[in-house]
């Protein structure tokens, strides 16, 4: 029945009732969208978009958190500046701050290794394996069900990864109604090729983040390398550029208002099918509390890492990421309070329950599912404040690294298939990369200040809420004393060697019996709290196992109900390859205002103040004043910088290629407008707008500002 329901939902979702440009579609659904896509302006065969090994889909890649695309046959990759930010920061020093000044490798030999752990993933195969994952779980619940699904998933991944050079993962769709195994080529040698100066790549900074009008050149370039045999290999000077099977042409003509655009990428996560009790908790409790804690986290970094210092450079990527979340949460809270999402969610659930109750068979199968899931949601929120504050304590890099090393030593005692996900042999390279990257992203003064502050918050919780093992090892039984605990941390940091990269890597290779003999105070902390933290983790797994029974049943009911009322159903985003489509166009953010869809060089110059974050490079300013546009205006009177469209996107889509009807790259998606941030939970066709870097601005900067002719010559430019 599940297969029939999903097929019906897909057919319904592609019917004329879904003409609003909503939904992040799985590639295999695209041929069924043919009439809609053709009517809107798609020129290529929609069937080609469903084939992952053919153009244009095999040119679209994942960076593991961001999207990118090949733009030359020599493995040249374009993505957002903020997606390459970690690698730019990693290669920056006070003497050579390429984050501030920009970087261009004129020759292959000048390209820089990206941050440790950087990867390019090329999706090659997607296979539904729902029956395989659910095998043996029908009579199970709680942790037993969780463990069975986890065991079946690991077995599927292990079989897939017998084909060396690939990274395989099992993904959940429709709350566990379907499971897909996704196989991706894992390119392990990634190098930084080019990034514009901060005054271009992050023009407007956090002030302009999520805002329109926007004037940000949010683009940078990597290159993918492989061994001489053409297979993925770790970094080596002997490696050669990856020969991509296909690549995107870049349009110097661009788009106009009303033009069709399509975005292909790896959107992170949406929550459009969550129940009302989850919505209530997230917007009234979780987001406000998380926003306050994250704001303090950034404040502590900035207070203890002066501008221009090596410490500040080390944390620039962290600051940028958290500021993005802070603004994101703020907008979602504001939109939630002003809007009617919660009331509409409640109304939909009441209507769904009424529809279920109208039919005896439906009532028998789905009658209690909403009540069951709501009870599980309430249970999951029982210790939310403790978990949130203790999580901030454990965000200290010294603590988190010690806990990682200790857990790894424990897991290595087990057969590989029985280890916790994230600690299997397949994960060792990622763990090593994390241990290495800490060297460029850590400062003791900053880390200590963060830990001291959140220890105080944790100690203020009621004793019954706290974890006694944590209290004991951090001497919190009698409460928090700033002088005492500052001295305690001074002692812990001075007696620890975890800040040393060689020591961290050495510890990674130790057996548990060896690590347990360590006198390192942070390893001692990890050892002291491990058992109780494991108990809390098992409790979470038990709860998740019960949710794994309820959510698929709810989604079955939702799909059947929406089929009956003529409403489209598509799977929530989950970091897998999706396609979304729409048109270039403005919007009305509030009564009496209309936001036009393009910004220009002149608008950028008017916004320039000469001080960060509105400090466009002098060379760029001069070129704008001279109106030296080159051949990059298209049908417009100036070079467009950014543009708006109504494509349905979210985090993870950053860096996604924006394509025209011929599948030519006309931009890079990098943000959304303030009013559409709540789109992770609630789609509004009037306010949902995505922001793209215009390909014409990207080409103009490369040509006129940074003299990146070597890259332009390598790319195929359509004029």
Catalytic residues: 82, 218, 654
**H-only helix segments in 474-584:** 482-494, 501-508, 512-515, 521-565
Query: What are the Cα distances from residue 362, in Å, to 177, 559, 567?
Result: 17, 13, 19
Phi and psi at residue 23, to the nearest 5°:
115, 140
* Dihedral sign (CA 570, 574, 578, 579): positive
First vs last C-alpha separation in the chain = 51
In whole angstroms, what is the distance from residue 489 CA to residue 124 CA?
49
Cβ atoms 393, 454 nearer than 8 A: yes
Closest C-alpha to 78, from 195, 204, 246, 202:
195
CA distance 716 to 719: 10
Q: How big, in percent rounded to 5, are the helix, strand and coil portions of the chain?
A: 50, 15, 35
Give the C-alpha separation, 33 to 467, whole Å.
Answer: 53
DSSP lists the bridge partners of residue 222 as 77, 192
The Cα 613–Cα 84 span in angstroms is: 18
Residue 25 burial (CB < 10 Å; 0-12/13-18/19+)?
Answer: buried
Give the ranges where 474-520 is alpha helix by DSSP (H).
482-494, 501-508, 512-515
Decide: helix, strand or coil at residue 339. coil
Buried b (16+ CB within 10 A) or exposed e, 342-368: beebeebbeebbebbeeeeeeeebbbe
CA distance 497 to 435: 13
CA–CA distance, 352 with 357 (Å, rounded to integer) = 9
CA distance 473 to 453: 17
> At 169, is the secondary structure helix, strand, or coil?
strand
- H helix count then E strand count, the chain: 28, 20
Question: In this structure, how many other beta carbons lie within 10 angstroms of the beta carbon of residue 175?
Answer: 21
26, 223, 396, 699 from 709: Cα distances, Å: 37, 16, 44, 10
> How many CA within 13 A on the CB side of residue 277?
12
The DSSP result for 591-646, as a single string, is TT--B-SEEEHHHHHHH--SSTTS---HHHHHHHHTT--TT--TTSSS-EEEEEE-
Beta strand extents in 87-198 (DSSP E only)? 103-104, 112-113, 120-128, 166-173, 178-187, 189-195
Helices 397-411 & 444-459 angle (0-180, nearest 10): 80
SS3 state of residue 173 = strand
Distance of alpha carbon 192 from the chain centroid: 20
CA separation, residue 619 to residues 199, 203, 562, 605, 607 (Å): 11, 15, 56, 12, 16
Q: How many CA atoms does the CB half-sphere of 283 hold within 13 Å?
A: 25
Give the three-state DSSP class for 377.
Answer: helix
Find the angle CA(93)-CA(432)-CA(111) to the nearest 5 degrees. Answer: 45
Q: What's CA 465's distance to the chain center, in Å? A: 32
């Amino acid at each position: 029945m599940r297969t029939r329901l999903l097929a019906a939902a897909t057919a319904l979702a592609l019917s004329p009732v879904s003409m609003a440009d909503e939904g992040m579609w799985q590639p295999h659904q695209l041929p069924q969208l043919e009439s809609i896509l053709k009517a809107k302006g798609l020129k290529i065969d929609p069937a080609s978009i469903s084939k992952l090994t053919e153009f244009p889909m095999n040119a679209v890649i994942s960076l593991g958190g961001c999207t990118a695309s090949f733009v030359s046959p020599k493995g040249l990759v374009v993505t957002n500046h903020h997606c390459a930010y970690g690698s730019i920061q990693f290669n920056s020093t006070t003497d050579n701050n390429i984050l501030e000044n920009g970087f261009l490798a004129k020759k292959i030999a000048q390209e820089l290794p990206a941050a440790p752990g950087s990867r390019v993933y090329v999706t090659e195969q997607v296979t539904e394996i729902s029956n395989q994952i659910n095998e043996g779980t029908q009579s199970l619940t709680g942790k037993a069900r969780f463990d069975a699904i986890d065991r079946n998933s690991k077995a599927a991944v292990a079989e897939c990864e017998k084909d060396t050079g690939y990274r395989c993962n099992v993904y959940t769709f429709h709350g566990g109604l379907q499971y897909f195994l996704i196989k991706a080529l894992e390119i392990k040698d990634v190098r930084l090729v080019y990034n514009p100066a901060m005054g271009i790549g992050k023009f407007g900074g956090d002030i302009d983040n999520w805002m329109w009008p926007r004037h940000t050149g949010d683009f940078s370039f990597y290159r993918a390398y492989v061994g001489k045999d053409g297979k993925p290999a770790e970094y080596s000077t002997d490696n050669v550029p990856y020969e991509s099977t296909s690549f995107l042409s870049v349009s110097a003509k661009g788009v106009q208002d009303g033009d069709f655009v399509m975005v292909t990428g790896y959107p992170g996560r949406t929550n459009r099918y969550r129940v009302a009790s989850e919505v209530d908790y997230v917007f009234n409790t979780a987001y406000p509390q998380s926003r306050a804690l994250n704001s303090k986290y950034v404040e502590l970094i900035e207070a203890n890492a002066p501008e221009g210092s090596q410490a500040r450079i080390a944390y620039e990527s962290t600051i940028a990421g958290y500021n993005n979340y802070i603004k994101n949460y703020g907008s979602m809270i504001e939109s939630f309070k002003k809007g009617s999402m919660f009331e509409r969610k409640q109304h939909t659930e009441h209507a769904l329950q009424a529809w279920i109750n109208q039919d005896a068979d439906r009532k028998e199968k789905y009658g209690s599912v909403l009540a069951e899931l709501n009870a599980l949601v309430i249970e999951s929120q029982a210790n939310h404040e403790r978990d949130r504050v203790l999580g901030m304590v454990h965000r200290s890099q010294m603590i988190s690294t010690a806990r990682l090393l200790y857990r790894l030593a424990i897991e290595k005692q087990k057969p590989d298939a029985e280890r916790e996900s994230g600690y299997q042999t397949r994960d060792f390279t990622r763990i090593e990369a994390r241990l290495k990257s800490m060297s460029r992203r850590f400062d003791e003064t900053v880390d200590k200040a963060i830990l001291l502050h959140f220890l105080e918050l944790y100690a203020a919780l009621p004793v019954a809420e706290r974890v006694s093992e944590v209290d004991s090892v951090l001497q919190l039984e009698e409460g928090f004393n700033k002088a005492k605990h500052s001295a305690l941390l001074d002692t812990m940091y001075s007696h620890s060697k975890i800040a040393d990269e060689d020591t961290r890597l050495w510890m990674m290779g130790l057996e548990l019996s060896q690590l347990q003999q360590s006198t390192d105070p942070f390893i001692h902390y990890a050892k002291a709290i491990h058992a109780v933290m494991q108990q809390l983790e098992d409790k979470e797994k038990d709860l998740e196992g019960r949710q794994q029974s309820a959510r698929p049943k709810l989604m079955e009911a939702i799909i059947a109900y929406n089929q009956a009322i003529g409403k489209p159903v598509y799977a929530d985003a989950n970091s897998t390859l999706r396609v979304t489509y729409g048109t270039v166009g403005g919007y009305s953010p509030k009564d009496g205002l209309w936001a036009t869809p393009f910004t220009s060089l002149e608008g950028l110059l008017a916004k320039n103040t000469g001080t960060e974050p509105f400090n466009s490079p002098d060379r760029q300013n001069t070129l704008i004043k001279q109106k030296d546009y080159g051949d990059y205006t298209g049908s417009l009177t100036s070079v467009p910088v950014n543009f708006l469209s109504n494509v349905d996107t979210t985090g993870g889509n950053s860096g996604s290629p924006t394509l025209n009807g011929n599948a030519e790259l006309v931009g890079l998606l990098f943000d959304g407008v303030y009013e559409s941030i709540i789109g992770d939970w609630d789609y509004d066709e009037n306010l949902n707008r995505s922001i793209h870097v215009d390909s014409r601005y990207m080409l103009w900067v490369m040509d006129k500002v940074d003299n990146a002719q070597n890259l332009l010559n390598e790319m195929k430019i359509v004029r």
